[in-house]
């Protein structure tokens, strides 16, 4: 039966935009729009949606899609002269038919490789030649893996510098019942206080108001515990030293045109990112970053493993 299963399907999505549906044998699935190279859905074997996409999200270029996993490149926030999160999330990506080999992913049949390269239009605002490649893959147990490779293809001998993030919007049942573990005792920059630097004093991050923090030099594993759903998201990352934690809360949510007034209660952004120290590539050099997320019953952590030991084990 597995040999007959359609693991990768190319079809049309909202407003006729091209998308790719990935399916694994256990009925886990993911959807990726070529617009933005953006994952907009990730479902487990029970068909439950694990990512948040706003009911008011615009699937109309050039506005970015609010939710899922936007790719932020080559800029984050106001760290440069470009739009807030760079241009990768509102460009049409192509399917990469000749991707570089990824030996670790050989066993995965449900994957797609996308590529974004410089355009003459983009070079007017960011004068560099590059290849930005993205592999989105579903593991056999439904884990969602994103691997990015960025290469400097400048022919003028110039290096370039960039920042990067997977701006992952997790769907949570009730934000007031969510805890993030693995970031305690770390330094962070508080974007609500002009980027001032602080040290996290709490045993876990909980939510009762707006949060917009950049945690620095973070571990490779972070856990997001959704107590209401008895579910834990495990985020594992490589090549992305920082982690952004964001929820707009009620006041900011009402000011966002593409975000429902009360939707802040059902989402949390935890972003594997490179924020504090930008990446510099010389011509011909390549950077690689990776994020893998899985969803497991919270009882798995609490009954069999101490969550902190789990986080520190990798």
- Known binding-site positions for substrate: 66, 84, 89
DSSP assignment, residue 35?
A: B
Tokens, residue 194: 């002009």
Contact criterion met (CB below 8 Å) for 73 and 150? yes
In this structure, are strands 29-33 and 18-23 parallel, antiparallel, or unpaired? antiparallel
The SS3 assignment for 308 reads helix
- Least Cα distance to 54 among 247, 267, 202, 251 occurs for 267
Q: How far apart are CA 53 and CA 19, in angstroms?
A: 15
Q: Rounded to whole angstroms, what are the CA distances from 248 to 68, 245, 255, 270?
A: 16, 10, 10, 13
Question: Distance between CA atoms of 158 and 302, rounded to whole angstroms?
Answer: 51
Which residues are annotated binding-site positions?
66, 84, 89
């Amino acid at each position: 039966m597995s040999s007959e299963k359609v693991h990768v399907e190319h079809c049309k999505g909202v407003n006729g935009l091209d998308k790719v549906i990935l399916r694994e044998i256990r009925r886990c699935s993911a959807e990726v729009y070529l617009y933005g190279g953006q994952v907009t859905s990730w479902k487990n074997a029970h068909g439950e949606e694990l990512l948040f996409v706003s009911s008011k999200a615009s699937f109309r270029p050039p506005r970015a899609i609010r939710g899922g996993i936007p790719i932020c490149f080559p800029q984050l926030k106001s760290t440069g002269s470009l739009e807030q999160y760079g241009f990768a999330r509102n460009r049409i990506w192509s399917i990469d038919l000749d991707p570089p080999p990824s030996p670790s992913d050989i066993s995965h049949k449900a994957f797609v490789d996308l590529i974004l390269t410089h355009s003459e239009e983009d070079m007017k605002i960011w004068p560099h030649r590059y290849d930005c490649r993205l592999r989105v893959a579903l593991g056999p147990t439904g884990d969602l893996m994103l691997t990015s490779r960025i290469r400097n293809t400048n022919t003028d001998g110039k290096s370039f510098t960039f920042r990067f993030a997977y701006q992952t919007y997790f769907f949570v049942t009730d934000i007031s019942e969510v805890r993030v573990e693995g970031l305690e005792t770390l330094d962070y920059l508080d974007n609500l206080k002009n980027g001032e630097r602080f040290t996290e004093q709490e045993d876990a991050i909980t939510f009762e108001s707006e949060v917009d923090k950049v945690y620095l030099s973070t571990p490779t594993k972070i856990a997001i515990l959704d107590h209401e759903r008895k579910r834990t998201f495990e985020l594992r990352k490589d090549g992305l030293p920082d982690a952004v934690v964001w929820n707009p809360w009620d006041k900011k949510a009402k000011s966002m045109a593409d975000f429902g007034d009360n939707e802040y209660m059902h989402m949390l952004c935890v972003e594997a990112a490179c924020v504090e120290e930008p990446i510099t590539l010389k011509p011909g050099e390549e950077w690689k970053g990776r994020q893998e997320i899985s969803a497991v019953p919270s009882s798995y952590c609490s009954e069999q493993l101490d969550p902190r030991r789990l986080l520190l084990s990798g």
